Structure 1
């Protein structure tokens, strides 16, 4: 068996509305039942139809191993066209596949000049700007003839939902998404061919405030990006006779008040079903002429990110009465999305749902940590039959829901939790012999589900929900093990680049909430070390995980500007010792009443200055900028030397005696020789002083366990993992957490809470331990020289406390798997899978050459194995092998 599967264009399956001006890239996977399968050649055909009778371009047979991000650079694209493609491949033995199943991509509108529609909104007398009630828009049009295809191209200032002839258009939510609205605004494309009918058709749109003009940030601000909700829409109908009809948003449309009295991301939604209008009814009163407004079309871009969709549904596990007598639903999982519910009663009756994450120590409903975010949904019944409702333009972060007004007959089965997040493909899975660690992995995954809703938010429940750069860079690699994050981060990083200050500074969160910077705000709103370094860490990580050179090239200037910004900040050109920094945020070694850990902030800033410079050098080498690479190599050396002069004593000791200081110096290669040895010993000593517990915060924690494992103290890393008392990852698990907390002790041992001003129970930063689980415990890693898992590294690190580990990661090439099991009789079994068209480099810890077997035969004799030798560190055997599944056994 040798075949092609999983064709993708720009990471997506059959995308429509892609940017026609950028050369599309396609990827595919190979399946083979033979080991050591490497692609030797491929052929691509692109056609105007799925039958390939009209071939537009044929690559011919090209000798190449490339099967991901293959640019169709010889194909001349036109806007608003669908292109079908298929692929053949040949392996090194000359075996060929059949043609793959046809896939397609479809281009969107050409550019701003092609938009014929006008921005429209409700007239001010109908919908005053200060009014919270949401507008709806509609138009009627005739269809006459046999339709070949129909597409809606649409965006909004605010959020929108579409209906065509009473049917919802598409399965996307929170469109057009949150971008740097002053610079970039996405539009979406929908295939509505099947929703049109002969004769009169009705097209309706609901507009929401969303991030654009709703509450956003810490100061209860509204209208940050603008004060008008508005729509820009074009419906293009192609008839089989070749003619076209365009339905455009303009002042011929009508506007009316909707039944949504208020909808806000933080506050929730109020809906009065008695006020519903049948917008498909021409004769119904309440409609006025829409008005046009002036707004730029030059900023409009095609959809980049994957959409937010309904991912899964959860049923409540309990309907309980609290000691205070309140009726509360327990969803069993801290989730993000909303409740869909069914209710029946008299007209005018109002039911209310209030959302929270936890109960207090007495079992009562607790929401003080929400700050000003109400997370409240109100629904007023129209009366009569059963009514089913779910919100439109708000989402909540919650496990518990306080119910009011539902009456005595309410049942848990009347409610369904709808989980929403960006529709990223699930790629990672981890399981081990310890159920608490498995729950930890579950919590990490659900932290990502809850916070990757169009942007990587810090938390999804209180009045914040911002794309904090520090949290994103800390978690990006873990996130990319768990899900395919490439399109998600592509869009977010382009917003980061758009919001970067002229001097190269990076706002604390992306998208930013201010358009310009004044002198008194420069040190308050952007460019903290470890936060701004998202500009370099995130694109480099995506390059490593997905082999995406294009994104690296797109972000390269942003990376350079960030390094240049740091270079200009310090009183010394190779130290960063000025400005505001969050430091080791929430470090446990902080002073009383301080959120900032004890690690010297100048040390942290200079350490990240060195790290970002090194990543920019690597990017320059990948992109072929040799002069830049040499410049950054020299700059990196100077920063490292300055770090040593400033923070390492003549005797080789780090002057800052904290866990995080040792971790950063070791992780970023800032100490060598005796100084490195002293840092390792000091880290071990500091951990012992803390009872083998961490004291690190946001900056140090992501690197702590990897540094221990990389420096010969894997057993100590495992010890930290298995701690169950405060502070530890499993402490949260023993307290019933189903996501990752913001604070190690969000709920204290006595059941009381951390401060109400900042105590999220869904905050993924500390979930960065997931990288260690995948990359070190299971051992699945990348290769910088052959990124995207073209060369798979598997080096499991068994430790005390686990009897088995199994992990799988779906890469661009296919599934990578690693598992290890301690068998009876002191035998270790390690099973690995390397996908076709890749090679593997496997290190088996504790193995000896003479004892190593693969499926019962000496390893060096097994098919697919290229080389077997002693590991470089002398602590095992390294095996170079081709694709396939292998099972190794050896005494351990």
Structure 2
């Protein structure tokens, strides 16, 4: 880009939400405006208007990237806004245009993390805009942000704005005349240029954030303490749109939370995040939307409302990155369907520009471990190719500036916390699963969409991670020396110590290191990088040998718990005899736990696959369909509409888990949906991007019907099956030109080609897994 614009800031900060405007004459003598493009970015978040109309419905532009090296810009076709309707004054030659910009703190200057600090990236908000106009005769005109006297700045109705704490809007300060020509601008001030390197400007790779759904009020009630509570029926991410009329200067407050605890708003999980919006009324009809913040909530507590609050006064607005839904799942089990819907809503709420851990408390960071675990599920449910590719660019940038270390979060704001990270995390260095996101996420995108370019773009990052891990191995060749999250949030860990898991951290880390090394070796082969292929094959071989030498004894894996067996089996670390023994032991441990979950972040994405791979499909189904705590379906029995961070984020008596870290919207433990799609639904790729498809439903658990669909890069694939008595009927359809394999229990493989197929075969349900002691 030929940048003529400069990054500018208001001479007065105006409560952290200044407005900037410029009037400009439209050049005459060149005919009508035939094209106009606005390029927009900011230090902070920005919204823009041209001639009184918004340039887009995007939100929180330019999002959150690794601002030190990469600031995104958005481009908008604003021809219609500048040219106007045919014959209108706006479109006349020599007319006047008005470009208006509103700024907010966003991620750039707002609070980030749990330390209470803000302003990690800078102290001044900045606006960057370049409007390029083309006329009928081919001549052009450019209007830019600069400090040459054409721009002025003034106050907005926003008195406070923060992503964690909420927004305060004073409707008495609303005056849309600032967007019109001839605005006097009393009290407005000048602007100044900021020291800014335009070389870091980069176009969006992923989608932008927008409103994607609206939900009505389900119930208005009064709490035991007399508070007015509103239930929207769904845990979501966004805000409440408010329509209200009351006395001038009166204040309405909306406080948000995900759950109720004993009938009152459950705000303790928010920690220090206020999650509160305040609206000061104008005395007329007011509509409020706090677009410089967002909240994770199902419930709202409303105070100061004038008169009687009705359902028509409030609407929940769900926001998120603009993702296309491509995968679906449905079964004969209503609770399993609700669980799957919870996975979808949890993902949508945490894909707000960055793949975050949670959307509600004083955190909302791009934790690498969460997306490492969840990426296969995400890539099936929605087209996340560009979304995660954009995030991976930031991961690579952070890694390059940190000695090859992949941080706990991307963008890595924790590097600015000056030792305020809890000491149990230890010195920052690579850690299993979290740092493995550098390898697992691009590999997932390649498998899901078949585009090898992502591997080429990320190969240096992938290789750098594994090389860093190799440098951390002990003399015995295992990864057991530095801080590890391990099997984070093992349900048997105490609430105050989520890292105190049953699984040995060295076993978990070494298994993950092997998995990453093997993927990088395979990636190098695909890219024709033979030297690197040999290098990473040697690393993988060494890790496998060390794992078996140090951690395996006659099929028993050190620490003898479900997670270590799940990882060893799925990652292919064991020989055939040990794998069979490990599978049997995994099934035994699952039965001893009453088929209640006994894994955390490390084991949960893999345990059902490990059981399935070793012939214990019945045990996998019992785990999936268990309803007692801890289990995947326990939250559903408690009315959950998203996936919880802890298996028992809410205890059976309706009390919130006493742990400091308790969220009701975390997608990581929903990673089992990937197994549901492939094994229950029966739809999996046989080649990257589903260029060849495996149709292989494995019914069990008393489920009598399931349907799975996926819009692949080659077209739509659909699988539907029913069990009726002793017969299994499978109906499948593949896109034209796509071959596949039909693999059914007890049957030889059948080759498929594009088009529909219907097959009925004899079927015997899997034997019921061993009963638990209590059931006996």
Normalised TM-score (structure 2): 0.93
Q: Deviations over 1:673-710 (max 9, x none)?
A: 22112211111111121112221011101101111112
Residues 371 and 756 of structure 1 are in contact (CA less than 8 Å); yes or no, is this contact kept in structure 2? no
Q: Distance in 1 between matches of 2:412 and 2:550?
A: 34
Aligned counterparts of 2:494 and 2:223: Cα–Cα separation in 1: 37
- 1:393 and 2:298 are equivalent in the alignment: no
SS at match of 1:528: coil
Residues 1:176 and 2:62 aligned together: yes
The answer to whether residue 20 in structure 2 is matched with residue 121 in structure 1 is no
1:265 aligned partner? 163
What's the counterpart of residue 503 of structure 2?
599
Return the alpha-carbon distance in structure 1 between the equivalents of residues 594 and 68 of structure 2. 51
- Deviation of 1:441 after TM superposition, in Å, equals 0.5
Distance 1:657 1:387 in 2: 62
1:34-113 to structure 2, matched below 5 A, reads 110=1
SS state of the match for residue 204, structure 1?
strand
Cα distance, 1:447–1:519 mapped onto 2, change above 3 Å: closer
Deviation for aligned residue 1:653? 2.1
Q: 1:634-684: per-residue Cα shift (whole Å, max 9, x none)?
A: 2211110001111012x3421221110111111111111221122111111
1:133 equivalent among 7, 16, 29: 16
Pairwise CA distance, 1:276: 2.2
The counterpart of 2:204, out of the listed 293, 303, 317, is 303
Distance 2:61 2:429 in 1: 27
CA distance 1:642–1:520, change in 2 (3 Å): farther
2:33 corresponds to? 147
Work out the CA distance in 2 between the residues paired with 1:710 and 1:315. Answer: 45
Q: 1:382 to 1:243 in 2, by over 3 A?
A: same
Among candidates 570, 580, 593, match of residue 667 of structure 1: 570
Distance 1:200 1:226 in 2: 35
CA contact (8 A) 1:319 1:327 kept: yes
2:350 pairs, out of 451, 466, 469, with: 451
Q: Given that residues 154 and 185 in structure 2 are in contact (C-alpha distance below 8 angstroms), is that contact kept between their aligned partners in structure 1?
A: no
The Cα offsets for residues 221-274 of structure 1, whole Å up to 9 and x where unpaired, read as 111011110011100000011000000101221111211111110000001111
* Counterpart for residue 695 of structure 1: 598
2:274 is matched with which residue?
374
Q: 1:700 to 1:514 in 2, by over 3 A?
A: closer
Equivalent residue in structure 1 for 2:315, among 416, 428, 438: 416
In structure 1, the partner of 2:71 is 185
Q: Is 1:834 aligned to residue 700 of structure 2?
A: no
Match of 1:205 among 97, 101, 126: 101
Partners in 1 of 2:511 and 2:727 — Cα distance? 43
Matched, 1:618 2:522: yes
Secondary structure at 1:666's aligned position in 2?
helix
1:264-303 deviation digits (Å, cap 9, x = unpaired): 1000000111122331252231211111111111111111
Question: CA RMSD for the aligned pairs?
Answer: 1.6
**Judging changes above 3 Å, is the alpha-carbon distance between structure 1 residues 224 and 517 closer, same or farther for their aligned structure 2 residues?**
closer
Aligned counterparts of 2:490 and 2:435: Cα–Cα separation in 1: 19
Partner of 1:321: 222
**Matched residue of 2:689: which SS?**
coil
**Given that residues 644 and 663 in structure 2 are in contact (C-alpha distance below 8 angstroms), is that contact kept between their aligned partners in structure 1?**
yes
Query: In the TM superposition, what is the alpha-carbon distance from 1:524 to its structure 2 partner?
Result: 3.6
Higher percent of residues as helix: 2
Match of 2:541 among 637, 642, 645: 637
Question: Structure 1 residue 732 and structure 2 residue 627: aligned?
Answer: no
For 1:891, which of 759, 762, 769 is the aligned residue?
Answer: 762
1:133 and 1:257 in contact (8 A); partners too:
no
Distance in structure 2 (CA, Å) of the matches to 1:453 and 1:571: 39
Q: Deviations over 1:405-437 (max 9, x none)?
A: 113322111111111111110011111101000
Give the alignment partner of residue 714 of structure 2, picking from 794, 813, 817. 813
Structure 2, unaligned stretches of length 5 or more? 83-89, 764-776
Verify the 8 A CA contact 1:133 1:258 in the aligned structure 2: no
Report the Cα distance in structure 2 between the residues aligned to 1:392 and 1:494, rounded to whole angstroms: 27
1:372-410 deviation digits (Å, cap 9, x = unpaired) = 1111011111112x1111012100100000001113322
Question: Structure 1 regions of 5+ residues with no counterpart?
Answer: 1-109, 846-874
> Is 1:480 matched with 2:383?
no
The 3-state SS of whatever aligns with 2:199 is: coil
Q: Is the 8 A contact 2:346 2:666 kept in 1?
A: yes
Does the 8 Å contact 1:591/1:598 carry over to 2? no
Residue 130 (structure 2) aligns with: 234
The aligned residue for residue 157 of structure 1 is 43
The 10-residue stretch of structure 1 (674-683 or 260-269) with the greater mean CA deviation from structure 2: 674-683
Question: Which residue pairs with 2:236 in the alignment?
Answer: 335
- Whether the aligned pair in 1 keeps the contact of 2:476 and 2:546 (CA below 8 Å) is no
- Confirm whether residue 878 of structure 1 aligns to residue 774 of structure 2: no
In the alignment, what sits opposite 1:95? none
CA separation of 1:890 and 1:594: change in aligned 2, threshold 3 A: same
Please tell me whether residue 253 in structure 1 is matched to residue 137 in structure 2. Answer: no
Task: Tell me if the contact between 1:335 and 1:398 (Cα under 8 Å) persists in the aligned partners.
Answer: yes
| Structure-1 separation of matches of 2:691 and 2:719 | 16
Partner of residue 31, structure 1 = none
Question: What secondary structure is seen at the aligned counterpart in 1 of 2:643?
Answer: coil
Q: Would the aligned equivalents of 2:496 and 2:659 in 1 still touch at CA under 8 Å?
A: no
Pick the aligned partner of 1:352 from 250, 253, 273: 253
Residue 523 of structure 1 deviates from its aligned partner by 4.0
Please state how far the C-alpha of 1:520 moved relative to its aligned partner.
11
Alignment CA distance shift 1:400-1:517 (3 Å):
closer
